Amino acid sequence: MTSSMKTALRIISLAVFLGWVIVWVLFPTKTYKQARTPALNSKLNSTYFGKQGTNLLLFTFPIILIAVLGCVYLHVQNQAKNMNSKRVVTSNRLAFWRRPVLVMAPLGIVTAVELAFAAMFVVLLIWSLSNYLYVSFGLLRMHKAGEKVWQAKFRSVSLRLGVCWKHMLGISLLSCDSRFFNIASCMLG
C-alpha cells in the first residue's frame, strides 16, 4: 500500500515539475504569446488577481502543489518506517545523484542533482535571453525621432535583461529554502 502510494506521489510530482519546466521554456516564444496566452487569459480570468492571475497560477501553483505532495510523501514514508522497524538494504540505481561532487567553503557540499539543476538553469537563462533578443530585434522600433539603432537595441537588451530577471526570482524561491532540494532528492530515490 505505502510503496504504491509513494510511487504514485513521485510520478505525480515529477509530472507537475516537468510541466512547470515546460511552461518556463515555452514562455518566451511567439507561439506561447500568440496562441496560448489569449486562451489561458480567457479561461483563467480572475477578478481578484486581475491580469497577473494567469502568471501567478502558472508559475506558483505547481511548486505549491509539489511542496504539498512532498509533505504527504514524507508523512507516508514516516508511517512506513514506523510500521517496519527493520531496514531492508536494496541497491538504488539513482544513488550517485545524491553523492557529494563538490565541496567548497562558500557552497558547502554540492551533490550531482544540485549541479545538474544549476546547469539546466544556466541553459534556460541563456536560451530565454537569446530568444527574447531574437524576437525583440526583429520588432525593433525607434521611439524618438533621431534615435539611433544602437540606442534602440540597448534599450531592448536592458528591457529583456529585466524580463529574464523573473527566472532568477523563480529559482530563488526554490533555492532559498534547502528543504525543497531535500524533498526532491528524497523523492528521487
> Tens digit of pLDDT per residue, the chain (189 long)?
578 888 899 999 999 999 988 888 888 788 887 888 888 888 777 777 777 778 888 888 898 999 999 889 988 888 877 666 555 555 577 787 888 887 877 767 888 888 888 888 888 888 888 888 887 787 777 667 787 888 888 888 888 888 777 777 766 666 554 544 554 554 444
Q: Are 18 and 85 contained in the same domain?
A: yes
Q: Which residues of 151-165 are buried (b: 16+ CB within 10 A; e: fewer)?
A: ebeebbeeebeeebe
| Cα-Cα-Cα-Cα dihedral sign, residues 58, 64, 66, 69 | negative
What is residue 104's DSSP assignment?
E
Residue 173 has a pLDDT of 64
Q: Are 142 and 189 contained in the same domain?
A: yes
Q: Are 142 and 111 contained in the same domain?
A: yes
Q: Are 110 and 79 contained in the same domain?
A: no
Which of residues 19, 54, 89 is at a domain's end?
Answer: 89
Residue 187 has a pLDDT of 47
Q: Which residues of 64-83 are buried (b: 16+ CB within 10 A; e: fewer)?
A: eebbebbeebbebbeeeeee
Q: Which long-range contacts (CB under 8 A, 24 or more apart) does 17-26 make?
A: 17/62, 17/66, 19/62, 20/59, 20/62, 20/63, 20/66, 23/58, 23/59, 23/62, 24/59, 24/124, 24/128, 24/167, 24/170, 25/124, 25/127
The predicted-structure confidence for 102-135, as pLDDT tens digits, reads as follows: 787 776 788 888 888 888 888 888 888 888 888 7
103: Cβ contacts below 8 Å, ≥ 6 apart:
109, 110
Residue 159 has a pLDDT of 80
pTM: 0.57
Q: Are 104 and 147 contained in the same domain?
A: yes
Q: Are 53 and 12 contained in the same domain?
A: yes
Nearest in space to 13 (alpha carbons), one of 167, 176, 188: 188
Residue 121 corresponds to which amino acid? F
80: Cβ contacts below 8 Å, ≥ 6 apart:
2, 3, 6
Q: Domain containing 173: what range?
A: 98-189
Question: Based on the structure, what is the number of domains in the chain?
Answer: 2
Q: Are 114 and 188 contained in the same domain?
A: yes
Residue 56 has a pLDDT of 81
Residue 111: its H or E element:
strand 108-111
Q: Are 85 and 129 contained in the same domain?
A: no
Residue 124 has a pLDDT of 81
Residue 144 corresponds to which amino acid? K
Which of residues 28, 61, 89 is at a domain's end?
Answer: 89
Q: Are 163 and 185 contained in the same domain?
A: yes
Q: Are 85 and 111 contained in the same domain?
A: no
Residue 59 has a pLDDT of 83
CA 15/CA 66 separation, integer angstroms: 10
Residue 55: its H or E element:
helix 53-83
